[in-house]
Amino acid sequence: MTDATRDLEPQIFWNCFAAISAIPRASGHEERIGAYILERAGQLGLERAKDDCGNIVVKLPATPGKEGVRSICLQSHLDMVCEKNADKVHDFLNDPIELVRNGEVLTANGTTLGADNGIGVATSLAIMEDRSVEHGPLELLFTVEEETGLRGAKNLSPSLVSSRSLLNLDSEEEGALYIGCAGGRDTVGRWRLVREAAPAGWAALRLTVKGLKGGHSGLEIDKGLGNAIKLLNRALMRLAGLGARVAAIDGGNMRNAIPRECAAVISLAPERAAAAQTVVAELAATFAAELPTVDPGVQLVLEPCEAPATVLYQHLQRQVLSTIAALPSGVQRMSAEIAGLVETSTNVSVINTEQDELVLITSQRSSSASRLTEVVETVQSILELGGAAVEVSEGYPGWQPNVDSPLLKLAQRCYRGLYGKDPEVKAIHAGLECGIIGERTPGMDMVSFGPNMEKVHSPDERVYIESVARYWRFVLEILKTAQ
């Protein structure tokens, strides 16, 4: 226990959270935390196993009188995102997390806290330690490398877990029960660059879209945010009508983000420069009118730059610009089962002009496997018609919501009994380990939930202490009530 967690309730939970916070557990470096869990389970005389990927399961026998209850798996991931403030000296491979209590929240000193998913890990460890908790047979599953590609879940040995009911303890909103998530794939187009000399005496200009907020291409795809690549392409199409020649286009930097900025270098006949500035001014006003509240800072700027030696061959330029214009980007379909949930979306994420090729990365998501296939095939077809060579990633599966889930009904009854109100039933338009685990273990009934957390994956990450206490009671009530 540290001073930050001293006197917090439930004490056994916070003791476990403090213990794991002292053990470095960056993604891909979960060996020490895994060894700690295996050693402690052995000391308690519990059956435990580890698969080739590093995933761990600890099996708890039922407490007296609960032997006939169905087995439940409590699932969490061992790794944490490692981010720190620029002025913070911290070695995530060797240094413990410094916990800080700040009124009603627990945070860390200049680094990520690791509540994602230390809360879930500490929950399972506390139940392992506390023999007063009533429960049927339990399997405590700890996966690895969730934060860097869901590697543990993707490589989970099917024989490691026998339960067919799973509580995923990796959500961040108290009072919400998650029963579905999106699957996803990336579809990448590549054009081999064919260039010619830039016209002699032409003006060199940089066209830039900036000032957009950007955002997560799953969680915020329904916000109507501006996409810098799509907006810039609209401007390039207009300037191409004035004879502009494109030398390079670069924008976006993350596959799972709506791009905030994008820039192109172009060559333009000097006598067309004034007309180009007029077009840019008109489009800047148009973009501002289209995004008045969601992206009020949007800017479209045309300014002189260093002259490029070459430009794209005219036919290639037409192919690239037309393809980007034709590509869908945004929400494609809303869920018919859960109000407000995006079912299917696609996002134009990144464009880079490299030495020998131009690369365009797009990302598709859906909670329906068939709809995911459909939108991927749509994007793939457009890219191929535009002359690009196309690669489609293996991706990850979605988790189809089941509003008739027995585990969901149990969780709803328990929450209502404890707090006198119904929890929200939700799904998330992003990837969760549940989608992969469900695919690898057919018939798995799953619900995900957790306490209130904010600003995860950043040094401002925090978890609300009283929310943790209510979440802990909820977990124990489910285990006690399960039949």
Residues of the chain with CATH 3.40.630.10: 11-182+399-481
DSSP state letter for 306 = P
DSSP calls for 233-273: HHHHHHHHTTT-EEEEEEE---TTEE---EEEEEEE-GGGH
Q: Which of 120, 162, 323, 99 minimizes the C-alpha distance to 229?
A: 323
User: Which candidate in 145, 146, 147, 445 is catalytic?
Assistant: 146
pLDDT by residue (tens digit) across 461-478? 999 999 999 999 999 999
Average pLDDT over residues 48-74: 97
Quote the percentage of the chain above a pLDDT of 90. 86
Residue with tokens 């401002």: 460
Res 86: pLDDT: 78
Dihedrals phi, psi of 275, to nearest 5 degrees: -65, -35
Q: Which residues contact 175 (CB under 8 A, 6 or more apart)?
A: 415, 419, 421, 423, 424
- Residue 181's DSSP bridge partners are 399, 428
pLDDT by residue (tens digit) across 31-50? 999 999 999 999 999 999 99
pTM for the model: 0.76
Average pLDDT over residues 413-440: 93
Residues of the chain with CATH 3.30.70.360: 184-392
Tell me the Ramachandran region of residue 395: left when phi exceeds 0, alpha when psi lies from -120 to 50, beta otherwise: left
Does residue 1 surpass a pLDDT of 80? no
Q: Which of 207, 318, 199 minimizes the C-alpha distance to 270?
A: 199
Average pLDDT over residues 345-349: 97
| Architecture of the domain defined by 11-182+399-481 | 3-Layer(aba) Sandwich (3.40)
Between CA 345 and CA 350, with CA 347 as vertex, the angle to 5 degrees is 160
Q: How far apart are CA 261 and CA 197, in angstroms?
A: 27
Q: Which of 241, 383, 260 minimizes the C-alpha distance to 326?
A: 383
Res 81: pLDDT: 87
pLDDT by residue (tens digit) across 267-326? 999 999 999 999 999 999 999 999 999 999 999 999 999 999 999 999 999 999 999 999
CB atoms within 10 A of CB 248: 19
In the residue annotation, 303 being an active-site residue is answered as no
Average pLDDT over residues 338-350: 93
Q: How far apart are CA 114 and CA 178, in angstroms?
A: 21
Dihedrals phi, psi of 102, to nearest 5 degrees: -130, 85
pLDDT by residue (tens digit) across 120-175? 999 999 999 999 999 999 999 999 999 887 899 999 998 999 999 999 999 999 99
Structure confidence at residue 447 as a pLDDT band (50, 70, 90): very high
- Say which residue, 383 or 432, is predicted with more confidence: 383
184-392, CATH topology level: Alpha-Beta Plaits (3.30.70)
Average pLDDT over residues 75-86: 90
Average pLDDT over residues 256-262: 90
In the residue annotation, 146 being an active-site residue is answered as yes
Res 214: pLDDT: 87
Residue with tokens 């439930």: 10
User: Which candidate in 79, 172, 295, 439 is catalytic?
Assistant: 79
Between CA 183 and CA 186, with CA 184 as vertex, the angle to 5 degrees is 170
- Residue 365's DSSP bridge partners are 184, 345
Res 76: pLDDT: 98
Average pLDDT score, the chain: 95
